[in-house]
Amino acid sequence: MKAEIIAVGTEILTGQIVNTNAQFLSEKLASLGIDVYYHVAVGDNEGRLFSTIETASKRSDLVILCGGLGPTEDDLTKQTLAKFLGKELVFDPTALAKLDTFFASRPDYVRTPNNERQAQLIAGSIPLQNRTGLAVGGLIEVDGVTYVVLPGPPSELKPMVNEQLVPHLTTGEQLFSRVLRFFGIGESQLVTILADIIEKQSDPTVAPYAKTGEVTLRLSTKAKDQASADAKLDVLEKEILSRHTLDHQPLHELFYGYGDDNSMAKVAFDLLKGTGKTITAAESLTAGLFQATLADFSGASSIFAGGFVTYSLEEKSKMLSIPAQELEQHGVVSHFTAQAMASQARKLTGSDYGVSLTGVAGPDSLEGHPAGTVFIGLATPNGVDSVQVNIAGRSRADVREIAVLHAFNLVRLAVLNGENLV
């Protein structure tokens, strides 16, 4: 089934409101196995709306019109669709009774003839009752095309869709998705590696999405139930994770988790909590972002008692008990400083893991290092080590955010590898 969503309202075209209904409806229809091919916005003009409906009727099996069901003269969606279909408007008894009740309970409101329009629907339509408003919606099939009219306010549209429309649109198949998350590879390289899979895709499909510092792949398929979907998605996932990067690194090593709502930080947090390990951090360029991210998760106090933000050399020396002359000798942007910060933070808090971040967020260089140079230390019961990452060509905010992702990834790998160092 090919669907088209038509948003009616001049206020959408002028930018006065954002068309959030289209996103909601697209997600809802996709979950029902219905493909949305077109999004259209049209103003409150009968001629243009009539033409838009005419075009939609020739290319779509399901046409959903949102907005224009109110009582004013520019609310003309039902009237225009009725004209296009050659049908009359009739009153829906349930909607009319609700209108009566509304005005009876509000004696200060003046009921005018145009209010009655909200209780009308196209003759032959299945009424879609409005639990949170007064304008009734409707569904009607004519010449193989299903037309749906819905109110514009999201507070009215969403309940009507969920409670009234969805039961009429169930096709027997649903859209099931699985999101794979990768860290340490860019979107362009990942797409290159999977070019043949993406090129020949039909069902399941593969859609890459670039995020700050990472890439996700959404695998989607239509199936009658979760088990049938999993069978198809498992095959595709296995094929993807069997690939290698352009420098021959197994792709499965860069895969770290599933889900839209997941994150590198959440994966590392869950591993720490699941193994009963504690962590601390000493941060310079990230100024507490690693620790703030930890604190976002419920139960953070069980693994994180506290840490350090040591921006200057003097504070690194004073708060972490690192000799100032050694920091001056090696530089604050160095493997030495990263390792000393991680080791001392772990020692001073008695934590199982100590993480450190020091480097150059930019835009200027520091100690001869260009912006984006970051050293990350990791101290475990087995010792301390550090890595250098180069996050070039990014804003200060991106450098800090991506540096934190690298730090959480080091923690994740350490926990998975039994506290072996990086």
CATH number at residue 219: 3.30.70.2860
Whole-number pLDDT of residue 108: 81
Domain presence at residue 422 = no
Range of the domain at 389: 264-417
Domain presence at residue 86 = yes
Sheet order of strands, 383-390 included: 308-309, 279-283, 353-359, 373-380, 383-390
pTM: 0.76
How do residues 200-234 score in pLDDT, each as one tens digit?
Answer: 888 899 999 998 999 999 999 989 899 999 999 99
**Ranges of the chain with pLDDT below 50:** none
Among residues 135, 169, 203, the one where a domain terminates is 169
Are both 131 and 185 inside the same structural domain?
A: no
Closest CA to 375 of 348, 339, 345: 339
Among residues 224, 258, 292, the one where a domain terminates is 258
Closest CA to 69 of 182, 156, 3: 156
Are both 21 and 164 inside the same structural domain?
A: yes
Closest CA to 180 of 223, 212, 204, 214: 214
For the chain, the domain total comes to 3
Are both 37 and 158 inside the same structural domain?
A: yes
Q: What is the DSSP string of 121-154?
A: EETTPEEE--SSSS--EEEEEETTEEEEEE-SSH
Among residues 139, 169, 199, the one where a domain terminates is 169
Strand 2-8 relative to strand 62-66, pairing? parallel
Q: Are 406 and 389 in contact (CB under 8 A)?
A: yes
Whole-number pLDDT of residue 74: 83
Are both 251 and 368 inside the same structural domain?
A: no
Are both 12 and 83 inside the same structural domain?
A: yes
Whole-number pLDDT of residue 358: 98
Are both 242 and 316 inside the same structural domain?
A: no
Give the H or E element holding residue 327. Answer: helix 324-330
CATH number at residue 335: 3.90.950.20
Whole-number pLDDT of residue 421: 58
Domain presence at residue 207 = yes
